[in-house]
Chain A
Amino acid sequence: MECRKDIVSLIHKYFDEEITETENKQLKQHLNECNHCRNHFNELKKSIAFVQSSSHIVAPPNFTDLVMKQLPQPKRSNNWKR
């Protein structure tokens, strides 16, 4: 199909949230008519949702203490200021 390349670039513009209103209409209209592009669009949407459903990860306990222990001794200049 001739439109493929144009449409793929519109699809990516859509997901980058950079699509204009006119382009969005053009895309939606095409997706209504074209199974292939609609599948592509839906699969991308699912892939994004899949990655976004990853859990929020927290640093291990004691992380801050471990980092602080690795720091070099405070500069001497700091001592005479006090």
Chain B
Amino acid sequence: METLVKRIIIDVKKGDQEAFAELVELYKDKVYQISYRMVGNVHEAQDIAQEAFLRAYMNIDTYDLDRKFSTWLFRIVTNLSIDRLRKKKPDFYLDQEVDGTEGLTLASQIAATDELPEDQVITYELQDWIQGEILNLPPKYRSAIILKYIEDLSLKEISEILDLPIATVKTRIHRGREALRKRLSNV
């Protein structure tokens, strides 16, 4: 995978725009997943994910081939998501319920086609609930929890993406886990 990615990036760096489409294809789902989990709104998530790829393209010359491409790309999308959350901070918490219901739109994009309709409803409700709880986390714990438990990344990779020492990443994951636990234990 990494060798293939490097070859594609070398082509992109040389100015081959079509090669960039291959990179987008390879990483679009993960990048979109991060932005969606961070902001909880399909339209904004798509906007952020597209912007992340656009920035990656514009800055591809600064990307160091010796480093892992996904780490660099995930850092861009995480930062864009956090910027977006900062900008809409005043109304963000008020909007949370609305955000939660938008998971229904998301449901159409979740691959679950082989399930019966009734099962799908349950799945959608559960998925809305999970997303709602993720959005309830303060953004700095949210990013750490998403990268750790949804993207399944190592602490080292998370520390590079968030540009934080591993010890700080651990603290954020610990606090994120505790915050989830406190809410879920009241259910």
Whether the pair B21, A63 counts as a contact (CB closer than 8 A) is: no
Whether the pair B155, A16 counts as a contact (CB closer than 8 A) is: yes
Does A58 interact with chain B (Cβ within 8 Å)?
Answer: yes
Q: Which residues from chain A contact B145 at a C-beta distance below 8 Å?
A: 51
> What total of A-B pairs shows CB separation below 8 Å?
112
**Given known contacts A51-B149, A53-B130, A58-B111, A71 and B29 CB-to-CB distance under 8 angstroms:** no
Does A4 interact with chain B (Cβ within 8 Å)?
Answer: no
Whether the pair B17, A54 counts as a contact (CB closer than 8 A) is: no
- Segment 20-39 of B: residues with Cβ below 8 Å from A: 20-21, 24-25, 28-29, 31-33, 36-37
| Residue count of chain B within 8 Å CB distance of chain A | 48
**Given known contacts A48-B149, A70-B50, A63 and B24 CB-to-CB distance under 8 angstroms:** yes
Does A47 interact with chain B (Cβ within 8 Å)?
Answer: yes
Measured CB to CB, the closest approach of chain A to B69, in angstroms, equals 16
Chain A, interface residues (CB within 8 Å), range: 20 to 34
Q: Which residues from chain A contact B106 at a C-beta distance below 8 Å?
A: 57
Give the contacting residue for A67; candidates B36, B53, B170, B178; CB below 8 A.
B53
Name A's B-contacting residues (CB within 8 A).
Answer: 12, 15-16, 40, 43-44, 46-48, 50-60, 63-64, 66-68, 70-72, 74-75, 77-78, 81
